[in-house]
């Protein structure tokens, strides 16, 4: 049963700041993740919570094909990737070597690149808001205070609510590159998100592209 009060939240793991969110009646400024990343959410209110507790790791068997309810039923999981399932039925393909951690809330999971510090992906789903998905995503922009540069924020599908947000920001003096893909389906807002240091984005972008192309369930 999906708890309507839950929202998509994304957290860092292993003795670092963990940020989680829950719905409230008030507006709060956008919170930051472990490297100062703005945390993309689709809620109208959230409260940051910090902890240094190491989160449990999850184990998934390798997969060669992904479920047929994905965004494109003809796309197979690429070589070197595996399909993982996250909260509220979201599923994506991530590199085989990336470790997965459960979030502090039941609405998100995170996977980290063991070879590239700061390279992370997150995926999850939460109850949809009343306002359009684009408006919910755009509301996050004002909270990115350091070095924010919008690359793109746009609705990318005419048949369903699908929004993509790509941007740069600065954390601890280092420029970061982030990309978030949102879609709305059957009362839930889904998201896949990837971020890395800007210098590593050429390596990170193909991972994000695979996540987006294999994510489901379909909008």
Q: Which element (helix H / strand E) includes 217?
A: none
**For residue range 203-213, what is the model confidence (pLDDT) as tens digits?**
999 999 999 99
φ/ψ of residue 124, rounded to 5: 180, -170
For residues 150-172, give the mean pLDDT: 94
Is the confidence at residue 172, as pLDDT, over 50?
yes
pLDDT of 157: 79
Confidence of residue 47 (pLDDT cuts 50, 70, 90): very low
The three-state secondary structure class of 189 is: strand
For residues 104-127, give the mean pLDDT: 91
Is the confidence at residue 85, as pLDDT, over 50?
yes
Range among 28-32, 47-51, 133-137 with highest mean pLDDT value: 133-137
Name the residue among 199, 198, 195, 197 with its Cα closest to residue 208.
195
The CA distance from 204 to 31, in Å, is 23
Confidence of residue 106 (pLDDT cuts 50, 70, 90): confident
Regarding beta strands 99-102 and 57-58, do their DSSP bridges make them parallel or antiparallel, or are they unpaired? antiparallel
pLDDT of 60: 34
Q: Please state which of the ranges 43-52, 76-85, 168-177, 202-211 shows the lowest mean pLDDT.
A: 43-52
For residues 131-160, give the mean pLDDT: 93
The CA distance from 190 to 118, in Å, is 23
pLDDT of 103: 62
DSSP string, 76-105: PPPTTEEEEE-GGG-EEEEETT-EEEE-SS
> Which CATH number is 57-214's, of 3.40.50.720, 3.40.1000.10, 3.30.9.10, 3.40.50.10860?
3.40.1000.10
pLDDT of 75: 66
User: Of all residues in the chain, what percent carry a pLDDT higher than 90?
Assistant: 58
């Amino acid at each position: 049963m999906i708890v309507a009060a839950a929202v998509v939240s994304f957290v860092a793991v292993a003795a670092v700041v963990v940020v989680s969110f829950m719905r409230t009646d008030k507006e709060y400024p956008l919170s930051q993740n472990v490297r100062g990343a703005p945390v993309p959410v689709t809620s109208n209110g959230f409260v940051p919570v910090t902890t240094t507790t190491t989160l449990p790791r999850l184990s998934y068997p390798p997969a060669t094909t992904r479920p047929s309810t994905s965004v494109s039923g003809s796309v197979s999981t690429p070589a070197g990737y595996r399909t993982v399932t996250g909260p509220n039925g979201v599923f994506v393909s991530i590199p085989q070597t990336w470790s997965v951690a459960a979030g502090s809330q039941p609405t998100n999971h995170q996977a980290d690149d063991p070879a590239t510090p700061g390279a992370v992906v997150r995926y999850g789903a939460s109850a949809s808001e009343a306002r359009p998905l684009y408006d919910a995503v755009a509301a996050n922009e004002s909270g990115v205070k350091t070095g924010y540069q919008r690359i793109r924020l746009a609705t990318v599908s005419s048949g369903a609510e699908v929004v993509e947000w790509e941007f740069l920001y600065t954390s601890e003096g280092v420029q970061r590159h982030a990309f978030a893909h949102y879609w709305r389906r059957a009362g839930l807002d889904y998201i896949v998100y990837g971020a890395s240091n800007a210098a590593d984005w050429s390596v990170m972008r193909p991972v994000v592209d695979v996540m987006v192309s294999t994510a489901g369930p379909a909008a």
